Structure 1
Amino acid sequence: MNTPSKAPIFVSSDFNGFLGLLVDNLSVMAFLATALIGIFGFPADLIYTRMLPGTTLGVLLGNLAYFFMARRVAKRTGNVDTTAMPLGVDAPTSIGMALLVLGPAFLSYKQAGMDEHAAAIATWQLGMASLVVMGILKTVLSFFGPMVQRHVPRAGLLGSIAGIALVLMGFLPLLEIMKVPLVGFAGLGVVLYALVARGRMPWNLPGVLVAFVIGLLLYEVLGRIGWLGHGYHAMAAWQWRFALPWPTLQWVHGLPLTIPYLPLILPFGLLMVVGGINVTESARAAGDDYNTRDILLVEALATLVAGFCGGVAQTTPYIGQPAYRAMGARTGYVLITGLVVGLGGMLGYLSNLVEMLPLAVLAPILIFVAISITTQAFEATPTRYAGAVVFSFFPAIADMVVIKLGDPNYVPHEHFIALYNDASQGISELAVINVLGNGFIITSMIWASFVVAMIDGKPLRSACILVLGGVLTLFGVIHSVVPGGSLYLPWALDPTSRAIALQFAGAYLVLALVLAVLSLSRREGEGSLG
């Protein structure tokens, strides 16, 4: 029998855990790169030689730290079956960074007159600075995580991230799948069979790996015989991209650029803190007793290092630690994953995999993650709060609509602005959708929180939350009236925009007043009953 000090570094079932964790990371980075290149026309070379190496360095360091942390826990507890906490690139916020921050910023910089190279460098600097801001926030909040969790209801935290998952991680990748339905739908079906329906794969192979293989075979075979039409593109030629992620001060130049995006960046960091607390509790329930502060600090510092070295996507401990434990993975799988992902970013083979794999083959795993996150929002929240969770989805849906309408490939920029400014019937419908979507993560938290307070029979607390929403609206933290979603001082706006901002802020304050009156009448009613 093994003693704790002689617990094996690797066991055979670590390979299954390695494949699952590798594919998760690869899928997110592939979507990040493909979205920036395919949707926004971002230069591929900058992604593969600057952004990905820095991002993967954070994955390497974080997984190494979790490996040694797991070995220490195994030795302390005498449990040789301790499973390490998995760490990787966070899916919801990485996709959010691509679709809500980096891509739109790149287009806006070009529209402002920058040439493509200068706009790409500015976008990269913005991405690095965003990671540094999130890393600092997570480092500070790692000491106050439980306090944050107490003051923001779970329906608000999980509802806001589920909104991202549903429309950005789920619906948008589903569109990519259905662009090549002969390939994507088959891969999606295998993922749903293996991971949702818990069907058994031949020879106990990981379901994600089987879906990848089937998808690639269909893509290559059907594509070469012409059945995929314009949906088929020959795989890019293999090329070595040796790029060490050296520390750089380029992120300093990006700090001023983060200001318009703080309503997105700060909630991204906050969600990872709360998520880290939840996954640590999940691991503890499965039998592995990790220190919550240590788990949070490791991922915060990994994010900081990634930002300092050129990365643009934050790391996080993954939700599925009990799942990796159930498949037999122990400590070695995070060590292998960290080395393969980290070295892959530096030596270039990871960027080749990302470049070669079609999005229709990669997207199914993202849809599964979206389903899991959305399902968790309902399962981990008391049933009576389900309405609050659903209500928190609407701002994310509005933002998704704006993403599609704001794409110059769909609606020319001049036409978009004309529709936005059309005041023939009051506030234009496009302006309403845009204002509703701007700052949607914080909006979702506020909406779910005030509904939860209502459900709990606390109308005065609900009114206070609404007052906060009104104040944030005045300064564009939520419901920014600027199409790009930037912050502002209300008195500096033009008269039309200021009127819209005041109407939205006033809506919160009017409802707060109504609830305050209801609170007083409720107290009077309770007093008369006494």
Structure 2
Amino acid sequence: MIMKKRSLPLFRSGDIGGMAYALAGNIVNYIIIIGVLLYVFEWPEYLVFGRVIPGMSIGLMGSGIYYAWMANRLAKKEGRSDVTALPSGVSTPAMFVYLWGVIAPLNYAIDKPEDVWMVAVAATFLGGVIEALGSFVGPWLRKFLPRAALLGTVGGIALVWMANKGFYDVYADPILGMPILLIAIIGLIGGYVFPKKIPALLIAIVGGIGYAFVLGRVTPDVSGFGFTLTNPVTGINAIMTGLASISPYLAVIIPIQIYNFIETMDNVESAIAAGDRYSVREAQIADGAMTMLSAVFGGVVPNTVWLGHPGLKKGNAGSGYSWISGLILGAAGIFGAYAFVNSLMPPVIAAITFIWCSIVIIVQAFREAAPLKHGAAIVVAFIPHIADYVYTEIELTLFSQGVYEITPEVTSALLGEGVMWSGVMELKYGAILTSMLWAAITAFIIDKRLDKAGYVSLAASVLALVGFIHTPSLGLTVNPFFYGYLIMGIMCILFSALKNNFKSPDGYDYV
């Protein structure tokens, strides 16, 4: 039987919800970046709107078009018309790390914003290289690690970065947010069918925008239009200059880009679980290439495959949302229209899509875990991400008060006020790796493979030794975490050798 090749339509109704997700989510990130660079770091407008924003937009446009093309290739290969393109955009966790871990210390050490920008684009370009190189490790990790480790990590990120942010935005504007959220839950989770079968997400988004106009929450702003695009020669020269000053920040750049390529791997794994069998390696190389492209044109944060593919697939999105969103984001950045686009889309609209997609991802993590008893491993995977979130929020709070370093005195003061702080810093560093490691250890123990749990523990000890987890900087350091994981590994391997005298009964259920 010959499989009939199918092409995805350029656009279908489900792409409207996908466009809202891609546009709203990226616009919110742009608002954060613009606010921090302009009003916290006091960068001049020509740098922010003339280089950073257009550069980021070029990267996003390239990603949107590429992933739409990738979806069409998969549809033709498998003879299907229900393929959904991978969502992509600015990596929110990486964005915060780049802003506060790379640009902030540079900004306070160097008087000239132009010089800071040069190091920032160099850091972004190098990050793209690392992300692309990670493609050679990602597929192997996906085969070796239990699905609970991969999906649990995605679920943890969805919980702390998407669901939290979504509900916070809803409660920041309850009169607008709560009714829209109710519509989304009624239709998307409750399964109720609206008149003429209009998609619930479309009603929530379009109706929400109209409702926002009625409430006066949005005011169209047409100022700032005009063509702006960094000469790539200028960008390349900036990268070459910035690389000379980048070494002190490698300890931040390398771990966050490892985070990023594993995030891409996890999110592609989520898409595979939803039925679209994309190449993990290709997606990672594409992310790295688009991040490098963004840097050449002035961008200062990396791109990544986003969470949310299962929710978009459930909403019948195809490839149209990806390439159209990419073109809109690119044109908006190049022609200075981000302020106008944002004026039509209050943050609470993005919040609805965040909440919906995060719910789907978290539920999928438990449903798709094979076997279902790996649910404990998924829960364990959530915890490092919670620590990451807590640390980031407290750190930003301290920054807002002029405290830019968490010294022993600051730690003592936090503990003295009853803040749950002991161990948070250590668990935060390398959270995504720690999440995967502990989920894998737990899953292997559940599967009665103590030997594999031991091997993962030994791998964790090496990662702790070189500074990839639990410490703020890279470097060979014999620390308590190295010993802790080493002891764990030895214990698991010894227990495995005693399997005739030390075993778990068949059918054991921990619940």
State the TM-score, normalized to the length of structure 1.
0.77
The answer (yes or no) to whether the contact 1:263–1:439 under 8 Å persists in 2 is: yes
Query: Which residue pairs with 2:227 in the alignment?
Result: 242
3-state secondary structure, aligned to 1:238? coil
1:264 is the counterpart of 2:253? no
Measured in 1, the distance between the counterparts of 2:227 and 2:284 equals: 31
1:521 is the counterpart of 2:495? no
3-state secondary structure, aligned to 2:305? strand
The structure 2 residue matched to 1:470, chosen from 455, 461, 469, is 461
Query: Which residue pairs with 1:359 in the alignment?
Result: 347
Query: Which residue pairs with 1:344 in the alignment?
Result: 332
Instruction: Say if 1:422 and 1:472 are closer, same or farther in 2 by CA, change over 3 A.
Output: farther
Query: Cα distance, 1:206 vs. partner?
Result: 4.1
Written as runs of structure 1 = structure 2, the 5 A alignment for 1:395-414 is 395-407=384-396, 408=398, 412-413=402-403
1:371 is the counterpart of 2:384? no
Instruction: Say if 1:204 and 1:117 are closer, same or farther in 2 by CA, change over 3 A.
Output: farther
Query: Which residue pairs with 1:178 in the alignment?
Result: 171
Query: Cα distance, 1:384 vs. partner?
Result: 0.9
Query: Cα distance, 1:372 vs. partner?
Result: 2.1
Query: Which residue pairs with 2:200 in the alignment?
Result: 207
Measured in 2, the distance between the counterparts of 1:97 and 1:448 equals: 22
5+ residue gaps in structure 2?
504-511
Query: Cα distance, 1:421 vs. partner?
Result: 5.4
1:503 is the counterpart of 2:480? yes
Instruction: Say if 1:15 and 1:64 are closer, same or farther in 2 by CA, change over 3 A.
Output: same
Query: Cα distance, 1:441 vs. partner?
Result: 0.6
3-state secondary structure, aligned to 2:379? helix
Instruction: Say if 1:300 and 1:319 are closer, same or farther in 2 by CA, change over 3 A.
Output: farther
1:419 is the counterpart of 2:406? no
1:47-93, CA deviations, whole angstroms, 9 ceiling, x for partnerless residues? 5443443344344334444555666666777x5x63564244247xx
Instruction: Say if 1:323 and 1:504 are closer, same or farther in 2 by CA, change over 3 A.
Output: closer
Instruction: Say if 1:433 and 1:167 are closer, same or farther in 2 by CA, change over 3 A.
Output: same
The structure 2 residue matched to 1:191, chosen from 184, 187, 193, is 184
Deviates more, 1:502-511 or 1:406-415: 406-415
Q: One-letter code of the match for 2:254?
A: L
Query: Cα distance, 1:29 vs. partner?
Result: 1.2
Q: How many residues align?
A: 484
The structure 1 residue matched to 2:127, chosen from 124, 127, 130, is 130
Q: Percent identity?
A: 22
Measured in 1, the distance between the counterparts of 2:414 and 2:453 equals: 32
Instruction: Say if 1:73 and 1:455 are closer, same or farther in 2 by CA, change over 3 A.
Output: closer
The answer (yes or no) to whether the contact 1:85–1:317 under 8 Å persists in 2 is: no
Written as runs of structure 1 = structure 2, the 5 A alignment for 1:35-434 is 35-38=32-35, 41=40, 43=43, 45=45, 46-65=47-66, 82-83=81-82, 85-90=84-89, 94-112=91-109, 114=111, 118-119=115-116, 122-138=119-135, 140-141=136-137, 145=139, 147-222=140-215, 224=216, 236-244=221-229, 246-247=231-232, 248-249=235-236, 250-252=238-240, 253=242, 256=247, 257-276=249-268, 279=271, 282-283=274-275, 298=286, 301-311=289-299, 312-316=301-305, 320=309, 324=313, 327=316, 334-350=322-338, 352-354=340-342, 357-381=345-369, 382-407=371-396, 408=398, 412-413=402-403, 416-417=406-407, 418-420=409-411, 430=421, 432-434=423-425
Deviates more, 1:388-397 or 1:28-37: 28-37
Instruction: Say if 1:113 and 1:63 are closer, same or farther in 2 by CA, change over 3 A.
Output: closer
Query: Which residue pairs with 2:506 in the alignment?
Result: none
3-state secondary structure, aligned to 1:488? coil
Measured in 2, the distance between the counterparts of 1:109 and 1:297 equals: 28
Instruction: Say if 1:405 and 1:273 are closer, same or farther in 2 by CA, change over 3 A.
Output: closer
Query: Which residue pairs with 2:509 in the alignment?
Result: none
3-state secondary structure, aligned to 2:499? helix
Measured in 1, the distance between the counterparts of 2:171 and 2:414 equals: 37
State the TM-score, normalized to the length of structure 2.
0.80
Query: Cα distance, 1:298 vs. partner?
Result: 4.9
1:487 is the counterpart of 2:478? no
3-state secondary structure, aligned to 2:421? helix
Measured in 1, the distance between the counterparts of 2:386 and 2:17 equals: 30
Query: Which residue pairs with 1:449 in the alignment?
Result: 440
Instruction: Say if 1:306 and 1:405 are closer, same or farther in 2 by CA, change over 3 A.
Output: same
The answer (yes or no) to whether the contact 1:26–1:354 under 8 Å persists in 2 is: no
Query: Which residue pairs with 1:498 in the alignment?
Result: none
The answer (yes or no) to whether the contact 1:59–1:315 under 8 Å persists in 2 is: no
Q: One-letter code of the match for 1:29?
A: N
